[in-house]
Chain A
């Protein structure tokens, strides 16, 4: 059973809490990052690579039952 979240910080907990916050922020501040331009290019590439296999984007023939098993061509 997990302890309930306490909304009040007691005196001695203030130090422990402050220390945990500093440790957490150190971890977050020091991670490796890439530029938004590179991240955006990768997101766009993923979308374009998978677009033709996206049935909600491309649609399926109206006569087809969407719940039957389909045989896909997968790009290896």
Chain B
């Protein structure tokens, strides 16, 4: 790249000193506003009663590890993707497989349902993200209509449609995130700042404006402005790779899951970590997180095959869900908050909900 020489008085050393003093200032500013801890403020609210969340459906059909899943806006269909290249669209109520497509690559790490419910996107080791329109004709060969949209120089770890079927946002092992036009495949914006593989991204809830959060192997979680490509805020408190990031339903905060066996909660307006969800008995990496509708519960899937349900405000564990026979790769709450779907390396997906007699 065309490189500018040093500007008046500037040396690499002086720039390094300035960045050190800015980092210190950042820490001081954040500390000044830490007048109390979230869990202390939450002491006055009632402890949660026992939760009656149980697995009610098991979706069998994948021949290998299920790596990702996403709910359709209709709240009952979902799409899942697997290590063996298969992508399946299910009706979670009838357990019917409505569509299936085999990608030519293995490790389809990312899949997403389009807002219209008429298409799915998926990607992985092929370094691409492709969109498949879903046909009403079950016999139609979905692969024939495949549209390659995103092109990265390393694996695609995450993808999501934005507010419409027209744009997708991807995260990649190449260290970047990118926004693409589905119709033309054109790159609309790229997001640079992570210094290692980006493993996850999540779009802010629509009321909050055009931002998204990403997390990766550099242990950082970054907030981005979608229009300018600017990295607005950055959080670095995890001690290992961040595997998953998810916004709190109000859009004012987000949670992260990490190989350091903790999940953390960051408030965007306070610009700092406000909770750490951990236990001495929880020693395996957390791979995935999602919030319940009210934001009170945080579901987190771990490499020890369990799902811990955390009380977001009090910082304690509210429940633990067993059942999977291998790592939990993804947890997602359905769009109306009724059900939790978990995907696992045990080749199954489980759908759970809370019921009372």
Q: How far is the CB of B90 from chain A (nearest CB, A)?
A: 12
B 279-301 binary contact with A (CB < 8 Å = 1; else 0): 00000000000001111110000
Verify B35–A28 contact, CB threshold 8 A: no
Verify A46–B250 contact, CB threshold 8 A: yes
Cα A28 to Cα B230 with chains together (Å): 11
Q: How far is the CB of B96 from chain A (nearest CB, A)?
A: 12
Contact of B36 with A by CB under 8 A: yes
Q: How far is the CB of A8 from chain B (nearest CB, A)?
A: 12
Cα A1 to Cα B153 with chains together (Å): 7
Cα A14 to Cα B25 with chains together (Å): 23
Contact of B60 with A by CB under 8 A: no
User: Which of B115-123, B132-140, B158-166, B333-341 contacts the other chain?
Assistant: B333-341
Cα A62 to Cα B30 with chains together (Å): 47
Cα A25 to Cα B29 with chains together (Å): 13
Kindly identify which residue among A5, A19, A31, A36 contacts B176, using a CB–CB cutoff of 8 Å: A5
Cα A43 to Cα B294 with chains together (Å): 10
Kindly identify which residue among B152, B153, B269 contacts A39, using a CB–CB cutoff of 8 Å: B269
Verify A43–B338 contact, CB threshold 8 A: no
Verify B293–A61 contact, CB threshold 8 A: no
Verify A62–B356 contact, CB threshold 8 A: yes
For B267, list chain A residues within 8 Å (CB): 36, 39-40, 43
Q: Which 8 residue pairs of A and B lie closest in terms of their CB atoms, listed nearest first?
A: A5-B175, A50-B294, A18-B15, A25-B22, A54-B294, A67-B93, A39-B270, A59-B354
Which positions in A face B, CB cutoff 8 Å? Answer: 1-5, 12-16, 18-19, 21-22, 24-29, 31, 33-44, 46-51, 53-62, 64-67, 70
Which positions in B face A, CB cutoff 8 Å? Answer: 1, 3-6, 10, 12, 15-16, 18-19, 22-23, 25-26, 29-30, 33-38, 41-42, 45, 48, 51-53, 75-76, 92-93, 151-154, 172, 174-176, 178, 187, 190, 193, 195-196, 230-234, 248-250, 252-253, 267, 269-272, 274, 292-297, 312-313, 333, 336-340, 353-357
